[in-house]
């Protein structure tokens, strides 16, 4: 069963506008959520995270929002830049135990000049 | 600190052969993970080490798979009697025990093709 879902395989946004990537999860035991960015032929790179005790975390152009009641999180990128073009993965974990990450399928973001 | 290193970057093997991959984590990181990623999917957890102890294995890790982390440093992942379904990107990640909010550092992966 897919515990973390990213329902949009791709997203195209104009440079300078806002990019919004969405993620849904089903497991209530998850208490930490992360976004990773991946370029071709490279491993995923950590972008930003949020604990379940928060509903928003901001780092420069990147903001992650968490809606626990809806089991939904989103990543906002403002303004979008051509270098942001990559595949973005949402991941979830439980702080206890192995802290293994459960990933979504990924969303390919393309920023058009 | 050169990050997480994985070797080889690419491996092509014939079905039925054994292969071994190596991961060198960031030196001060005591947590080490192996993940597998197939086309169009996110990485899937395979196994986890805390120092030299293998503490968790996914049911994805069949008997043909074995992983080690001697002395809590580098790790190896061996696949015996490879099958075409083993073709995937194998990713290694490491992280410190204490800080979780910064995520883990992934290597660039080993792409395995079984022909």
Q: What does the pLDDT average to over A22-33? A: 94
pLDDT of residue A67: 97
- CA–CA distances in Å: residue B101 to residues A109, B25, B40, B73, B74: 24, 18, 26, 23, 24
**pLDDT tens by residue, A72-106:** 999 999 999 999 999 999 999 987 777 889 999 99
The answer to whether the Cβ–Cβ distance between B42 and A45 falls below 8 Å is no
The pLDDT assigned to A20 comes to: 98
C-beta of residue A100 within 8 angstroms of C-beta of residue B33: yes
pLDDT tier at B98, thresholds 50, 70, 90: low
Residue B37 has pLDDT above 80, yes or no: yes
Please list the residues that pair with B45 across neighbouring strands: B35
Task: Give the residue from chain A lying closest to B43, CA to CA.
Answer: A103
Q: What is the per-residue pLDDT for B101? A: 65
Average pLDDT over residues B99-107: 79
Q: Which residue, among B38, B27, B43, B86, has the nearest Cα to B61 in the 3D structure?
A: B86
CA distance B113 to chain A (A): 15
pLDDT-derived band at B1 (thresholds 50, 70, 90) equals low
* Yes or no, beta carbons of A106 and B4 under 8 Å apart: no
Indicate the helix (H) or strand (E) that contains A102: strand A102-103
Q: What does DSSP assign to residue B22?
A: E
Residue A33 class from Cβ within 10 Å (0-12 exposed, 13-18 middle, 19+ buried)? buried
Of B93, B103, B109, the CB nearest to A49: B103
pLDDT of residue B86: 97
Q: How far is A102 from chain B (nearest CA, A)?
A: 7
Sign, CA torsion B76/B82/B83/B87: positive
Q: A41 CB near a chain B CB, below 8 Å?
A: yes
% of chain A beyond a pLDDT of 90: 88
pLDDT in tens, B48-82: 999 999 999 998 888 999 999 998 899 999 999 99
Q: Do A32 and B101 touch (CB under 8 A)?
A: yes
In this predicted structure, the answer to whether residue B21 has a pLDDT above a threshold of 90 is: yes
């Amino acid at each position: 069963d897919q515990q973390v879902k990213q329902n949009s395989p791709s997203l195209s946004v104009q440079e300078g506008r806002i990019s919004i990537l969405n993620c849904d999860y089903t497991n209530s035991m998850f208490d930490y959520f992360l976004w990773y960015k991946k370029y071709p032929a490279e491993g995923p790179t950590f972008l930003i995270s949020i604990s379940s005790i928060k509903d928003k975390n901001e780092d420069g152009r990147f903001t992650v929002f968490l809606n626990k009641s809806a089991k939904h999180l989103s990543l906002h990128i403002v303004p979008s830049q051509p270098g942001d073009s990559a595949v973005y993965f949402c991941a979830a974990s439980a702080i206890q135990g192995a802290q293994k990450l459960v990933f979504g399928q990924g969303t390919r973001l393309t920023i058009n000049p | 600190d050169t990050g997480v290193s994985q070797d080889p970057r690419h491996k092509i093997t014939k079905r039925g052969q054994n292969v071994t991959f190596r991961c060198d984590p960031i030196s001060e990181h005591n947590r080490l993970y192996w993940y597998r990623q197939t086309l169009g999917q996110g990485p899937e957890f395979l196994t986890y080490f805390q120092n030299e102890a293998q503490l968790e294995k996914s049911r994805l890790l069949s008997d043909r798979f074995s992983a080690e982390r001697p002395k809590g440093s580098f790790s190896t992942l061996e696949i015996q009697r490879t099958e075409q379904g083993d073709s995937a990107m194998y990713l290694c990640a490491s992280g410190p025990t204490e800080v979780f909010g910064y995520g883990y550092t992934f290597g660039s992966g080993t792409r395995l093709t079984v022909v």
